[in-house]
Amino acid sequence: MNRVVRRFRGLPLRSRLALLVATAVALAVAAAAVTCWFVVRNALLDSLDDALSSNRPKAEDVIQRIDIDAVGGQARCLREVPGRDNPDLFKQTIQVVAKNGTNCAVLGRQTVDVDASDIAVAERQKTETYHNATASNGARYRVYTYPLEEYPQLSLAVSVARPLSEMDDTLDNLALILAVVAGIGVLGAGAAGLWVARTGLRPVDQLTDAVEHVARTEDLNLRIPVEGDDEIARLSESFNSMTASLASSRDLQQQLIADAGHELRTPLTSLRTNIELLARSEETGRAIPPDDRKALLASVTAQMTELAVLIGDLQELSRPDAGPGAGDGDGGGGKIQVVALHDLTRTAIDRARLRGPELKITAELAPWYVRAEPPALERAIVNILDNAVKFSPPRGTVEVALDRGRLTVRDHGPGIPADELPHVFNRFWRSPSARALPGSGLGLSIVARTVRQAGGEVTLEAAEGGGTVATMRLPGAATPPPETPLPEAGASY
């Protein structure tokens, strides 16, 4: 059995479908043929029984042809059965059955075996009976037995029998016809199944060719025509969506590599220039003035810091996007847990004050608890605050507020032009006015990614009266879930 299953699974899909269709049709045709055969057989049998019961001989004719042994209770046929020259008379056999099981034929050339039901009829235990029996010549007969009611004192029964060959010949012919029709039906079903398999799997062949083409050429711009709205059409749509997503992802990856190379080139070039100046001074023995040397070293340190920040941002963006509601797994980052957003914001504000000590940062923070990665969420808040500090005027004010999951950070800087607002969350995008300031252009991209993973949204828009307001909305609750341990503010995760 297992070998048959393995061979079946080894067949092509078309062959398996055609074989399954042919098998299903064969079973259906076989069931219909068998049912038809039995229905016809029962109908013929009922017709034969009706013919036997309707041709009952008269009681006087039966009595005239037998002699009853009153002592032994046996019936003996007295006369020669007339009509031997007419073969049709001998198609039906009539015999008398006594209660002791003896019998004699009053019509016909052979007797039929007596059954227990025949004796029961002779003894008046049954009113009539139908059964099959074998005649003295070995032929099979259908027998109808009824009591000789006109002479109850005799305890005799009369059996009328006809050969079953009349019905068997018809059934044999029917079986042959059904077998031929079933064979033709199975062959037709196999051919139809193969045609249906080829027709139905043609879109799958197209999809297979498309997948092989993509695997061979890496051409993600290939699309499959979608016809209808069935499962194949949905599969084609899914394939088109997948290739479109892969093409977009590859374009973004290439763009990221190109942008990262461009961003890395500037600090690396400056860093190489400064290092070459220091090395040349050592090689030639011509000392660089102390102030210039100090400035060069400070520049090298700043460029190394900028490179470290850029690499860290790239690593952050290279993490798989778990999406909102991710489970408790690291997924390449921190663990998803319930965190106090107001505490994280307060810690980020403390860090922002160190970077802009001359600025005034006000904060109104209402309790709010969210599910997120604490390090990533804190970094997102720090990035927003860094932008506010970077673009705020000297001795300016940065206003921070948290109310029911809505965190706003407002500065009073020059603001962002309306035509630049749609691009602020793009990777490596920097406003022309901000290119001279330190930064990699990845900060707000990291913010958008982190907020999206936490199931929220972030926007940046011009503030009324000047400046910019950043708004972060995160789903959560004003109270923590019961039995939820919360990390301490500013702790290392």
Query: Considering the entire predicted model, what is its pTM?
Result: 0.45
Whether residues 461 and 356 fall in one domain: yes
Asked whether residue 372 falls in the same domain as residue 438, the answer is: yes
Both 142 and 16 in one domain: the answer is no
Q: What is the pLDDT of residue 80?
A: 43
pLDDT tens across 1-50, in order?
Answer: 566 556 656 666 667 777 777 788 888 888 888 899 899 989 988 888 88
In a domain, 122, yes or no: yes
Picking from 163, 181, 208, the residue at the C-terminal end of a domain is 163
Same domain, yes or no: 352 and 454: yes
* 291 part of a folded domain: yes
Look at residue 187 in the predicted model and tell me its pLDDT.
83
User: Of 168, 151, 128, 135, nearest to 73 (Cα)?
Assistant: 151
Longest CA pairwise span in the chain (Å): 158
| Contact indicator for 33, 164 with CB cutoff of 8 Å | no
Q: What count of other Cβ atoms lies within 10 Å of the Cβ of residue 292? A: 12
Flag whether 11 is in a domain: yes
Q: Does the residue 223 lie in any domain?
A: no
Residue 62 is assigned to a structural domain of this protein:
yes
DSSP 344-413: HHHHHHHHHHHH-TTSEEEEEE---EEEE-HHHHHHHHHHHHHHHHHHSPTT-EEEEEEETTEEEEE--S
How does the average pLDDT of the chain come out, rounded? 78
Q: How confident is the model at residue 88 (pLDDT cuts 50, 70, 90)?
A: very low
- Which pLDDT belongs to residue 406? 93
* Domains: count for the chain: 4
Residue at 342 is within a domain: yes
On whether residue 248 sits in a domain, the answer given is: yes
- Asked if residue 292 belongs to a domain, the reply is yes
Query: Is 274 in the same domain as 353?
Result: no
Same domain, residue pair 396 and 462: yes
- If asked whether residues 353 and 447 sit together in one domain, one would say yes
Asked if the model's pLDDT at residue 159 lies above 50, the reply is yes
For residues 88 and 145, state if they share a domain. yes
Q: What is the average per-residue pLDDT within 423-447? A: 64
Which domain range does residue 130 map to?
57-163
What are the tens digits of pLDDT across the range 115-136? 899 889 888 888 899 999 988 8
Mention every residue, 6+ apart, whose C-beta is less than 8 A from residue 291: none
Residue 430 CA to residue 18 CA, distance in Å, equals: 62
pLDDT of 488 above 60: no
* pLDDT at 340 (0 to 100): 92
The reply to whether 62 and 37 lie within a common domain is no
φ/ψ region of 239 (left if φ > 0, alpha if ψ in -120 to 50, else beta) reads alpha
Burial of 474 (0-12, 13-18, 19+ CB in 10 A): buried
